[in-house]
Structures are given as C-alpha cells and as structure tokens.
Structure 1
C-alpha cells in the first residue's frame, strides 16, 4: 500500500473514541480503525523505513493494570522507528483527533545512561555540541523537552553554563500539527521525513555519548 495521507475518517474515528471510549464503540468501528488509521500509518512508516529504521506500531490498547483511568483504548495511534545497530535515539509519529505529532530522541534513560549523559553535557566540546543541536531544533519550531530535575543535580554547580541541559533525565524533541488539508495527502509523508531528519543530530549525539544501558535490568531505575 502506498501512503496517500490520513483520511478525514481517521480523525472522526478518534473524535468518536474520545466521546465513547468503550468496547462497544471499538467493536462497532474497528473496520474504520483498520482502514483509516492503522493501514495509512503502516504505509507511511514502511515508506520511511529504508532511511529511518525498523518500524513498530504500538498496540491500540491501554495498560490499565496500575492506572486509575480504566478506559481501555488509546485515543491516538503511534509508531516508532529505530535504526538497527544503534544504541539510543529513535523517531516517532502519532495520529489522533488533534492531528499529527512527530518526535525524536530518548524518552527514558536508565541510571547509567543519565550518568553518561550528564558527563557528556559537562564536557565543553560535547556539551556545546548538544546545546547547538537543541537551539537548531527550536529554531525550526520543535519543542525540546524531557523528564528533568527541579533542582541542580548532585555534584554539579548551580551556575554551570549548561545547567538546564544537566537537569534533564531524558531528552526529546517534538512538533504537533493540527488537522489541515495536507494531512489528507501524500504531503504528510514529506512533513514527517523533514522533521525526522531534523532530529538526526540529536539522535546521533545520544548514540555517540550515551548509548544503550549496560546496567542489569533491576538497577536501571
């Protein structure tokens, strides 16, 4: 299947799900989800996979085991792509009633990764390089966010020139586009590709300076 845009029915499906997040609604509209949400998103990531890596579409079901919110379905459909052989950094796309969201970077870092991240930020060469990457993303309209400490991290001076970056425990960029005509055409693929290319320097910095966690699974938090 060639990607030709997300039809308006995809947005209508999620508007309905937001109003009635129930198995009854899902069962009655499952064909719309398959045809107008999942299939176009799969086509989009398949076309971009040669440049950006192996795609994975997330399950549409929420994990409600430890949540007070027991609504069973996600009100968006997301997909992540990760380059094989790289330790960290990925790109993400999500469609919902709110439109299209793209993102890139690292959403969660284990303790050993946070330690390596902060050492690299503290290094003048690599720290300045990351600061320039963040500025470039913001200059083209991306938000740069992530989990972060309110206070100064232990062992670092409060007046460090890159203290805001040092406070981060994860780092990613994103941009949200509200529904507009191009979302329903193949132009949406070009928008996603351009945004993901802008995230490449951030992912490359994370791969080179942080990498995959080497800590045992029970010591990563």
Structure 2
C-alpha cells in the first residue's frame, strides 16, 4: 500500500486541459499523467483514510476499486456527449458500497475541491425515515443542527422543497421547517488547492469526518 503524499502537481491542470480535449486520443496520450497525479493518489488517500477511520472507530471505509468514480461519463441520456468528466470523485460508506446510505465524498476539481458528508438525495424510504426521526424527536434534531453549526458545518440548503412535505405539517414554521424540507442532508468543507497537494489533506478530511459524524449517526439510527 502506498501512503498518501498529496495529489500530483499536474492533477488540476490535467482536468483543465481535459475540458478542451474531450477525445480518446488526447486522453490515451495523457493517461499516464492521470494515473500518476490523480488515480494513484486518490487510491492511496482512500486506503489511508480507511485505516485511520478504523482506528478512530468512524464507520467509513473504501478501496480504490469500489470508491472512485469512473472518469467516463454516462452520456446515454445527456445532450452533452463529452466522454470524460473534468473532476475526480470518491465515496466512502459503512460497507464500502457507493449506494450505502450515509457517505463521505471527496471532490477534486480545478473549479473547487471539497469534502462532503451526509445523505445526498437518498432514496425516498431513507429520506422518509430521516424526516420521521425529526418528527419523533424534534429536540434531538434541533440539537443536531446546532451542533453542526457550532462545528462550522451548517447543513447545505441547495436542495429543498418549497413547502413542508405532507405528514410533517407539525414542523411547519418551527425550528425544523427548513430541515424537514431538505431533499439532501449534507455538510461540506472546501479544500484549498495547496492542501490538496499536501499529505495534510488526509488529516483535514479525518477531522471533517469526525465533525460530520453527528449527522451520519442521526441518519443511520433513523434508517437502521
């Protein structure tokens, strides 16, 4: 196993160039750069985080084969037929399966790198269980939101219903009005470019995961 030492100095420039060279010929010519500066560091990062999380009893894990998203885009139902994504992403979950609810996501992108955690557009039964947990114990849900705020990880509000969903009217106009309308329950931390190239990125993500843990625990308890 190779220890993570940072993403390569050409990782972000590679994706910048890929925006303008969406051809197999160009990618094949630069495949070695992608593997050395993006894929290998991401694999090492995921493996190092898996070991660190196990030591800290944070129930998240992954590996290079299952955790990292393919660079090729699924263009079957898209008007944009560009074959390649212009960022790298990886997911860690309790089982290591990308589809397992409750995740840590790492995003490497020249327009902005970040780590995120929580429940991104979960399946309807999972989201319903989350909302029922809020309704059953509103004080616990309020305390969760306050704890995340205190940890500088406010819940993201990018994905909300315009009104409280049916069956949860008791939470309307109260402290949980915004929370129960969310379709994704996610916290995020931006990662500066200099940090992405540093081995310290792993420690930053470990700290982020620990601060995001209350959100993950609340959701897991709701769906298990």
Match of 2:132 in 1: 119
- Structure with the larger strand share: 1
Change beyond 3 A, Cα 1:151–1:15: same
Of 100-109 and 32-41, more deviation after overlay is shown by 100-109
Change beyond 3 A, Cα 1:148–1:11: same
Tell me the TM-score normalized by structure 2.
Answer: 0.84
Q: Hey, what's the Cα distance between the residues in 2 that align with 1:179 and 1:98?
A: 10
Match of 2:111 in 1: 98
Gaps of 5+ in 1: 212-221
Cα distance, 1:142 vs structure 2: 5.7
**Is the CA contact 1:146–1:172 (under 8 Å) kept in the aligned structure 2?**
no
The 3-state SS of whatever aligns with 1:59 is coil
Q: Hey, what's the Cα distance between the residues in 1 that align with 2:217 and 2:36?
A: 35
> Is 1:71 aligned to residue 82 of structure 2?
yes
Q: Hey, what's the Cα distance between the residues in 2 that align with 1:193 and 1:78?
A: 17
Tell me the TM-score normalized by structure 1.
Answer: 0.85
Match of 1:168 in 2: 182
Cα distance, 1:64 vs structure 2: 0.7
Change beyond 3 A, Cα 1:176–1:62: same
Of 108-117 and 36-45, more deviation after overlay is shown by 108-117
Change beyond 3 A, Cα 1:76–1:102: same
Q: Which of 133, 136, 148 is the equivalent residue of 1:134?
A: 148
The number of residue pairs the alignment matches comes to 208
Cα distance, 1:99 vs structure 2: 4.6
Cα distance, 1:204 vs structure 2: 0.7
**Is the CA contact 1:173–1:199 (under 8 Å) kept in the aligned structure 2?**
yes
The 3-state SS of whatever aligns with 1:130 is helix
Q: CA RMSD in A?
A: 2.2
Cα distance, 1:9 vs structure 2: 0.9
Q: Which of 37, 41, 62 is the equivalent residue of 1:54?
A: 62
